[in-house]
Structure 1
Amino acid sequence: MSKNNNNFYKSWFDTPYYHILYKNRDYKEAEMFTKELMEFIKLPLNSKVLDLACGMGRHSINLNKMGYNVTGVDLSVKSIKNASKYESENLKFKIHDMRKPLGQKFDLVVNLFTSFGYFDDFKDNLKTLDSIKSSLKKNGLAVIDFLNIKYLKNNLIHKNTEEIDGIKFHLNRSIKNGFLTKKISFKHELNEYNFEEKVRSLDLYDFKSMFKQSNIKILHIFGDYKLTSFDENKSKRLIFILK
């Protein structure tokens, strides 16, 4: 039996296998990044923060622990269900499509860990940026944390296998037709599964063009989670601070 679904942001993210494959993500790195980010931005305590495409809420939780009033949103029902276990008076989670404005204003909107560029229709990326722009207070800031596609092209691991909880995940990565694609195949309980993740292979100049169309201003560009200067050839990340 084979399970296939390419509309991954509605299906793969809601399978238990997604959470198994990524269960060992570095939460300390997420904590370090949010700490560095807040120290740089100097956002006052109790400010309202929107974590757009929050997944299971690791960044939202860290930001809340630092003293911010955080709302995390994601399209994945399962991720929001898991994240909601950590809700408090100043930490809320909602199922929401990031292409649509939430209807609230925030001091800071963050979109972290390559949570942008999922959509087949390029216009949906612009809708997401317009949603971010409309969610900001007058002097609000936004942060987009994306991968550096030029570095990735030169350092891409095309194939590897990871065994987690007794499941062998076979991963096949490629960059073509404007997308970074990861095909994921595995067997479990006599069933064969095939899923696909993909994000647009956006570079610095693509983002600059989109920001211009959405009337968003770039304040700073960084190349890693320690907020060092961006180098197109050497940096692993492409991190924008915007307004």
Structure 2
Amino acid sequence: MSWYEEWFWSDAYTRVYDHRDDAEAEQLVDLIEHEIAPASGAHILDIGCGRGRHARALVRRGWQVTGLDLSEDAVAAARSRVADDDLDVRASFRVGDMRTPVCDGCADGVVNLFTSFGYFDADAENERALAAMATALRPGGWFLQDFLNAPQVAESLGASVYETEDGRTIHQDRWIEDGRVNKKITVRQNGHTETFQESVRLYTRSDLTAMYERVGLEVVALFGDYDGGNYVPDESPRLLLHAVRPT
């Protein structure tokens, strides 16, 4: 089993990233609304949608959303949450591999958020995933990818992080090797220990823009945070790329 299948399927994942919440999702969707301004009722694909926190925020703004994720548990959770919020009329979710196009030209916009990219060992497979996202866009459609800012990660990555709360201890060993940022995550609670891996290809801005060009996407703007701040290579916490599929 690949690391991302084991890790994203686990309850431990939600505990480690519980600070990535609905408020943060709304902040990122504010950026989409203000900077991209999709038309009312636009169809947006959320690739690597996880449990649907961004999808729910998108639907609340009046857009139609289709979410795709490899995790059956995550998709089930996303479906349940939009139903609980009475948002399921405008949202649907499916299980699938991001390397396979959802459709050909059916989407007004595609989002790929919270570093849901760079998981595969081979660059060709990561590019295949990006090509599938581009294929799903109609001509003139837009794309937003939220990724790590490689220079800032390389500068600031600490070797170890410890967190203790409510009897739960999370220990993360973190390092960069062979162009990937890696984590070994150990969760201890109630005398039980679980260990997981995380490994993401540390693509730079130039790596990604070259890849975009090869799959037929044109970058039109860069942002360095969820507030729409300018991208500063050594300082910005994130790298957000806004691109379009030319007509």
> Same fold, TM exceeding 0.5?
yes
Whichever structure has more helix as a proportion of its residues is: 2
Q: Does 1:37 find its partner at 2:37? A: no
Letter of the 1:92 partner, please give it: S
Give the equivalent residue in structure 1 for 2:53.
58
Structure 1 residue aligned with 2:150 = 149
> Aligned to 1:37, what secondary structure does the other structure show?
helix
Query: How far apart are 1:212 and its partner, in Å?
Result: 2.0
Q: CA RMSD in A?
A: 1.5
Instruction: State the identity as a percent.
Output: 32
Q: Which amino acid aligns with 2:175?
A: S
SS of the residue corresponding to residue 11 of structure 1 reads helix
> Could you say what secondary structure the match of 2:211 adopts?
helix
- 2:210 — aligned with what? 209
Q: Which residue of 1 aligns with 2:224?
A: 223
- Residue 199 of structure 1 aligns to a residue in which SS? strand
Amino acid at match of 2:17: Y
Please tell me the residue identity of whatever aligns with 1:94: R
The farther-off stretch of 61-70 and 99-108 is 99-108
Give a deviation string over 1:159-205, Cα, whole Å, max 9, x none: 11123453211101111111001111133455432210111011011
- What residue number does 2:74 align with? 79
Counterpart in 2 of 1:238? 239
Q: 1:77 to 1:101 in 2, by over 3 A?
A: same
Structure 2 alignment gaps of length 5 or more? none
Please say if residues 184 and 194 of structure 1, whose CA atoms lie closer than 8 Å, have aligned partners that are also in contact: yes
Asked if the contact 2:168/2:190 (under 8 Å) is kept, the reply is: no
Residues 119, 200 of structure 2: 8 Å contact kept: yes
Q: Which residue of structure 2 aligns with residue 127 of structure 1?
A: 128
Inter-partner Cα distance in structure 1 for 2:176 and 2:99: 24
Q: 3-state SS of the aligned residue for 1:208?
A: helix
TM-score w.r.t. length of structure 2: 0.91
Looking at structure 1, the residues matched to 13 and 165 of structure 2 have their Cα atoms a distance apart, in angstroms, of 11
Q: Counterpart of 1:30 in structure 2: which amino acid?
A: A
Tell me whether 44-53 or 99-108 shows the greater mean CA deviation: 99-108
Q: Greater CA deviation, 86-95 or 105-114?
A: 86-95
Q: How many residues align?
A: 238
Deviations along 1:99-145, one digit per CA (max 9) or x if unpaired, are: 11012510000001111100011111111111011100121111111
The runs of 5 or more residues in structure 1 that have no matched partner are: none
The answer as to whether partners of 1:53 and 1:73 remain within 8 angstroms in 2 is yes
21 and 164 in structure 1: CA distance in 2 versus 1, 3 angstrom threshold: farther
1:113, 1:145 within 8 Å by CA — same for their partners in 2?
A: yes
